[in-house]
Amino acid sequence: MNSFIPVSRPSFCGNEKKYLNECIETEWVSSEGPFVKKFEQDFAQFIGMDYGLAVSSGSAALDIAIELLDLNPGDEVILPTFSIISPLFSILRSGAVPVFVDSEFSDWNIQTEKIEEKINSKTKALLIIHTYGLPVNMEPVMELVKKYHLNLIEDAAEAHGLKYRDRNCGSFGDISIFSFYANKNINTGEGGMILLRNENWFRRAKNLRNLSFDPLKPRFIHSEMGWNYRFTNLQAALGLAQLENLNKTIQKKIEIGTFYQERLKFLLKKGFQLPPENNGFSENHYWVFGIICPDIESKIEIMAFLDENKIGYRPFFWCLHEQPLLEKLHFKSTERFPVAERLARLGLYIPSGPGITKEEMERISGVLEEKYG
């Protein structure tokens, strides 16, 4: 009997066990351990930023990033509506107002040409999110940041090692954030990183991560609210080992995406859309392998078929502007975002984690071809 194929199986093929054993042997398992600082420094250097701060999740990194901007109630932050909920939570908790922009149907990223029309005197920041394996067109974004003197938070949670032209995603913003959740190319189970250029922001972020303990004040004296968003030495050991193998992981993901592109071409004749191989700025790293269905009925049908064949999948993100939470908080908008809404309603992705086997990919493509070929 066929076993279940998870949507993302990790791969541990480097120094993970060695470094974890070192944590146990030295008894450094907490956030004070030496792997934390080394991982922070090595990852920041790899991306091309000055300072790195490891935290408990990508969402924690977003919370700190937004807090560093010292936003006032009514200040506005522009972001794509096609996104996971995390950035919306961070903005709303700050008292700021989220301002949404639609997506490109070609590469599923924010429509950069629609950003400027959303900018006004209340706009304080742009929150740009690289989505599902391809980067945002950063050139017009950087022009807007300079023209309007805006802060830029670059959400590269899914973009480890992804480049915009010849520059790493996560190196454009005043602040950038990454996630190391179990389905990411660097996988520490849970975890994240905030990268910065401003030393004062870095020092404040360190305090915010650790309950706002201030090294310049007596211990247990606090002048600002913070969080326990610490990152353990055990997680950092995993992260460092994964960073050492990141280029191999990216190459594996590209090979998985290339395999599916070739083997699932028959879906195009049935009205499905496969992910673009590139968007003019980058080759797709296929963080996930997404499929856009022709209509709701076909999405329901293919999900049932995948369930029946024990093949994992995930629906695409649901649009932020349609989240019921907004109505409760009186942020509900009547504005429509047709591309993002279509992506949310018709998109899903199939197993493509770095631990997937050739046999599993053959099985997935084979059963889909039997049904749709």
Domains of the chain, earliest start first: 16-244 (3.40.640.10), 246-372 (3.90.1150.10)
For residue 127, the model assigns a pLDDT of 98
- Asked whether the predicted pLDDT for residue 169 surpasses 90, the reply is yes
Residues in the chain, total: 373
pTM for this entry: 0.96
Helix, strand, or coil here: 348? strand
Determine the pLDDT at residue 214.
Answer: 85
Q: Residue 128: left if φ>0, alpha if ψ -120 to 50, beta else—which one?
A: beta
- Average pLDDT value for residue range 160-174: 96
- The packing angle between helices 358-372 and 296-308, to 10°, is 130
Inform me whether the pLDDT recorded for 332 exceeds 80.
no
Looking at residue 335, what is its pLDDT? 92
What value does the mean pLDDT take over residues 262-281? Answer: 96
| Class of residue 220 by CB neighbours under 10 A (exposed 0-12, middle 13-18, buried 19+) | exposed
Using 50, 70 and 90 to split pLDDT, how confident is the model at 161? very high
DSSP symbol at 361? H
Q: How far is CA 271 from CA 20, 225, 291, 372, in A?
A: 47, 52, 11, 11
**Structural tokens at position 91:** 């903005």
Spatial distance between the Cα atoms of 29 and 340, rounded to a whole number of angstroms: 42
Average pLDDT, the chain: 96
Single-letter amino acid, residue 114: K
Q: What is the pLDDT of residue 313?
A: 98
Structure tokens at 78: 């522009």
Tokens 């300072």: give the residue: 51
pLDDT at 164 over 80: yes
Q: Spell 1-16 as b/e; 16+ CB within 10 A means b.
A: eeeebbbbbbbeebbb
Q: What is the pLDDT of residues 105-148, one digit of tens each?
A: 999 999 999 999 999 999 999 999 999 999 999 999 999 999 99
pLDDT, residue 8, reads 97
What gap in Å lies between CA 175 and CA 194, rounded to an integer?
7
Amino acid of residue 143: E
Q: What are the tokens at 294?
A: 């022709």
